[in-house]
Chains A and B, each alone.
Chain A
């Protein structure tokens, strides 16, 4: 029998059994739609991440002071960072942070043992540094106050067990005993103590800190300092005072954040030095306040009641995952903001750019060291864009994998559905198969016909599924998921559909081809 004629018969059968074909293919429809969506969502996620990070330099490292409210955990993490290296320790407190080599575990325990530790604190501040490991021995010695510095240095080594020798710690030893087990409790004590000492000092990173970092840490290509705050704004088309994000920045912020101007110019160093009341608007904001970018240029807006000239408007930059969202912010000179808006109540972020992206983690450590010199007890958040991006990409990958697993299950179920229906169909068509074989149809012909039917059912299912996915898209987008359809997704899902249909069609088709005509004809 000619292949063309077999195809013709297949089509006749499919058309005659439209309803059954549709029902059969439902599993495949769902499977195909799932695959398309999986790929679209996966792609969407990736491009989301890419979009969010496109304004961020991969080598960018953000440094900011961790708020006191978070200090508990902050301590833990803090200490974790400085860990190994910090011999220098400024005052007593440096020791505290040093001990941290032990890491985050300590933060947990610190909370529990805090009461203990606090008492300990009062009695002996620095002594706590001594590592708990050494506590037993140290406890016997009783020198209440050791010099903080010495304890510091000992600490670092102390982790390794050395510190006991310093002798300073003895009180600690007692404390340690009280507060319980090993090194962790010891650590936590220290953490707490450091804390206590800082308590009322609020650290404001300054340009000096930035200079410190750029001076002492090599391998940085650029550094800037910025902060954001909220303030009321008037002017333009605004009918009433509205609160917007105000970003205090330096001139080089623009290049470091890959911002570009739609019109006008960015904040300049002179603006900053002279504390000029000028500003640059984000694209969306300019539209919101003035209705149009060109209208915004050279206009005046009132921030916190003071008039600012709009020196420029940024291009639309899209969303960013962290830092300042440029589209919806007002940029003003750093010093101007400090003078008129924030006063001393500001928590700036220092952003540095690593010349070599691969050195980022090393640089982070070095920065920690430098900061620890100036602010021994304080915790800083030091985050780099690359790791954030990786984390985001990883989570989007996980999601995709999960969805893929789901699609595979759906396809399997769909395939079993096809197999089922084909078996029933073969039962129904036993007479037909019998007569075809009686008049000379070969096994191969029958096999081909039934396989083709399964194949076409799944192609139809696949196509419907792909169509369906376009209807699902708006629903999914409603949940703020970025969906990006691609030809690849459609082709892949069709491929999977055909594969499923064919694989699950093989057995029924084989069964059909093996029917004995005599029995098939005499069935009823």
Chain B
């Protein structure tokens, strides 16, 4: 179900913080100080993603998209503004609860896969489950469906360095999916892949989206962004919606 979200950008409308929105931000600001210079990376960002949406955030490097992604991913906090994830006011959370929010609500997919090189594929995939306190064997059982779906079942004993880029990214996707998160957050998921593998990954995203997953993908590539239902442009910290 493709639900295009009209951007009314009414940050003032408080009635909208219901659970229809996976993401809702109000007036996010973030400033970095580099030397004596103050860099205003995010300027009054109001951004919403409804449940089940597949949104691409498109912007050149230095546009502030990585900062936005870190804030959405609960790995960084804004200087000011509000951020609701699944209705939870993230801006009010302490670091400890952010840990568990990242663990349960968000599945991360990175450009460089960020798999742990010493762990096998299956060990990498089940990490989020282990952190919830699920025991190893149960976690393996729980993740087998996801692993099968991504066509990795014959690779589970392998190490990351034995896989191709596309396979590694599928492992990363499996790890993101296994915890059944509210949001899949992908940062340049095709950036390190060749064109063919990249296409496959994007197809996979479409498929996952059809299965009901909410996806936010950050990219600088216009072609990649076009796979999403909706594109949000970010330039110099300002968000513009198509």
Whether A439 and B127, one on each chain, are in contact in the complex, defined by CB atoms closer than 8 angstroms, is yes
Q: Are A439 and B136 in contact (CB under 8 A)?
A: no
Cβ–Cβ contact B103 & A439, under 8 A? yes
Scan residues 448-504 of chain A and give those whose CB is less than 8 A from a CB of chain B: none
- Would you give the 0/1 interface string for B71-110, flagging 1 where the beta carbon is closer than 8 Å to chain A? 0010110000000000000000000100110111000101
Assess whether B157 is interfacial by the CB under 8 Å rule: no
Q: Which of A8, A436, A518 contacts B136 (CB 8 A)?
A: A8
Could you tell me if B118 and A440 are in contact, using CB atoms closer than 8 angstroms?
A: no
Name the B residues within 8 Å of A521 (CB-CB). Answer: 110, 114
**Which of B73, B99, B116, B136 contacts A432, CB < 8 Å?**
B116
Decide yes or no: A1 and B73 within 8 Å by CB, A438-B102, A440-B100, A521-B114 being known contacts. no
On whether the beta carbons of A439 and B175 are closer than 8 Å, the reply is yes
Residues of B within 8 A of A442 (CB): 96, 99, 131
From residue A24, how far is it (CB to closest CB) to chain B in Å?
16
A208 on interface, CB distance cutoff 8 Å: no
Interface size on A, residues (CB 8 A): 28
Asked if B128 is at the interface of the complex by the 8 Å CB criterion, the answer is yes
Query: B116 contacts A518, CB within 8 Å?
Result: no
Q: What chain B residues lie within 8 Å of A431 (beta carbons)?
A: 114
Question: Which residue of B73, B75, B110, B131 contacts A441 across the interface (Cβ within 8 Å)?
Answer: B131
The CA of A441 and the CA of B129, in the complex, are separated in Å by 11
Minimum CB–CB distance from A18 to chain B (whole Å) comes to 12
Taken together as a complex, chains A and B put the C-alpha atoms of A506 and B202 apart, in Å, by 44
Question: Would B99 and A441 count as touching, CB distance under 8 A?
Answer: yes
A431 to B100, CA, bound (A): 20
CB-CB under 8 A from B115, the residues of chain A are: 435
Closest chain A CB from B173 CB (angstroms): 13
Q: Scoring B residues 109 to 122 as 1 if CB is less than 8 Å from chain A, else 0, what string do you get?
A: 01010111111000
Q: Smallest distance from the beta carbon of B96 to chain A beta carbons, Å?
A: 7
Interface size class of B (residues with CB under 8 A): 20 to 34
Using CB atoms, name the residue of chain B closest to A435: B114
A1-17 with Cβ < 8 A to chain B: 1-2, 4-5, 8-9, 12-13, 16-17
A337: Cβ under 8 A from any B Cβ: no
A517 CB contacts on chain B under 8 angstroms = 75
Residues of B close to A445: CB separation below 8 A: 131
Tell me if B70 is interfacial: C-beta within 8 Å of chain A.
yes
Q: CA–CA, A13 to B103, complex, Å?
A: 22
State A9–B110 Cα separation when bound (angstroms).
Answer: 22
B130 CB contact (under 8 Å) in A1, A435, A437: A1
Verify B76–A440 contact, CB threshold 8 A.
no
For the complex, give the distance between the alpha carbons of A397 and B99 in Å. Answer: 55
B135 at the interface (CB under 8 A from A): yes
Kindly state whether residue A414 has any CB partner on chain B within 8 Å.
no
Known: A2-B135, A440-B128, A518-B76. A12 touches B118 (CB 8 A): yes
* A439 and B102 in contact, given A16-B118, A517-B75, A518-B75 (Cβ under 8 angstroms): yes
Residues of B within 8 A of A80 (CB): none
Considering the chains assembled together, what is the distance between the CA atoms of A1 and B129 in angstroms?
Answer: 9
Q: Is residue A415 within 8 Å, beta carbon to beta carbon, of the partner chain? A: no
Q: Known contacts being A1-B133, A2-B130, A431-B114, is A438 close to B119, with CB within 8 Å?
A: no
A27 vs B41: C-alpha distance when bound (angstroms): 48
Q: Which residues of B (167-202) have their CB < 8 Å from a CB of A?
A: 175, 179
| A42 beta carbon closer than 8 Å to chain B | no
Q: With a CB–CB cut-off of 8 A, which chain B residues contact A16?
A: 118
Q: Within 8 Å CB of A435, what residues of B? A: 108, 110, 114-116
The answer to whether A168 has its CB under 8 Å from any CB of chain B is no
Question: Are the C-beta atoms of A518 and B70 separated by less than 8 Å?
Answer: yes
Please, how many angstroms separate the alpha-carbon atoms of A431 and B119 in the complex? Answer: 13
Is the CB of A248 closer than 8 A to any CB of chain B?
no
Q: Which B residues lie within 8 Å of A522 (CB)?
A: 66
User: Are B110 and A1 closer than 8 Å at their CB atoms?
Assistant: no
Q: Report if B123 contacts A (CB, 8 A).
A: yes
Residues from chain A with a CB closer than 8 A to the CB of B102 are 438-440
- The distance from the CB of A339 to the nearest CB of chain B, in whole angstroms, is 87
Residue A434 CB within 8 A of the other chain: yes
Task: Enumerate chain B residues within 8 angstroms of A13, measured Cβ to Cβ.
Answer: 118
B residues within 8 A CB of A441? 99, 131
Nearest to B127 among chain A residues (CB) is A439
| Complex CA distance for A442 and B128, rounded to whole angstroms | 12
Q: In the assembled complex, how far is the CB of residue A144 from the closest CB belonging to chain B, in whole angstroms?
A: 100
- Whether the pair B128, A439 counts as a contact (CB closer than 8 A) is yes
A2 to B127, CA, bound (A): 12
Complex Cα distance A435/B75, Å? 11
Min C-beta distance of A183 to chain B, whole Å: 81
**Which residue of chain A lies nearest to B135 when distances are taken between CB atoms in the complex?**
A2
Chain B residue at smallest Cβ distance from A524: B112
Interface centre among A438, A445, A522 (most CB of B within 10 A): A438
Q: Find the residue from A4, A435, A436 having the highest chain B CB count within 10 A.
A: A435
Tell me how far the C-beta of A180 lies from the nearest C-beta in chain B, rounded to whole angstroms.
Answer: 82
Q: Closest A-chain residue to B73, C-beta based?
A: A438
CA distance A69 to B73 in the complex (A): 94
Chain A residues near B73 (CB-CB < 8 A): 438
Contacting residues, chain A, for B135 (C-beta < 8 A): 2, 4-5
User: Chain B residue with minimal CB distance to A1?
Assistant: B131
Which residues 84-105 of A sit at the B interface, judged by CB distance below 8 A? none
Specify the chain B residue showing the minimal Cβ separation from A439: B128
A4 and B130 CA atoms in complex are apart in Å by: 10
Distance between B48 CB and nearest chain A CB, rounded to angstroms: 23
Q: Which residue among A516, A521, A524 has the maximum number of chain B CB atoms within 10 Å of its CB?
A: A521
Contacts of B175 in A (CB 8 A): 439
CA distance A332 to B135 in the complex (A): 82
0 or 1 for each of A417-434: is its CB under 8 Å from B? (1 = yes): 000000000000001101
Query: In whole angstroms, how far apart are the Cα atoms of A144 and B100 in the complex?
Result: 108
Residues of A within 8 A of B128 (CB): 439-440
Given the complex of chains A and B, what is the CA–CA distance between A435 and B127 in angstroms? 10
Q: Nearest chain A CB to B179's CB is how many angstroms away?
A: 8
* Chain A residues closer than 8 Å to B76, beta-carbon distance: 518
In addition to A1-B133, A5-B130, A435-B115, 11 A-B residue pairs with Cβ atoms within 8 Å of each other are A1-B131, A5-B135, A12-B118, A16-B118, A435-B110, A435-B114, A438-B102, A439-B179, A440-B104, A441-B131, A524-B112
Interface residues of A (CB under 8 A from B): 1-2, 4-5, 8-9, 12-13, 16-17, 431-432, 434-442, 445, 516-518, 521-522, 524
Listed A/B pairs (28) with beta-carbon separation below 8 Å: A1-B130, A4-B136, A5-B130, A5-B136, A8-B136, A13-B118, A17-B118, A431-B114, A432-B118, A434-B114, A435-B116, A436-B127, A436-B131, A437-B99, A438-B73, A438-B108, A439-B102, A439-B127, A439-B128, A440-B100, A440-B103, A440-B132, A441-B131, A442-B99, A518-B76, A521-B114, A522-B66, A524-B112
Which B residues are within 8 Å of any A CB, using their own CB?
66, 70, 73, 75-76, 96, 99-100, 102-104, 108, 110, 112, 114-119, 123, 127-128, 130-133, 135-136, 175, 179
Closest 8 CB pairs of A and B: A440-B103, A16-B118, A435-B114, A440-B131, A518-B75, A5-B130, A432-B116, A440-B102
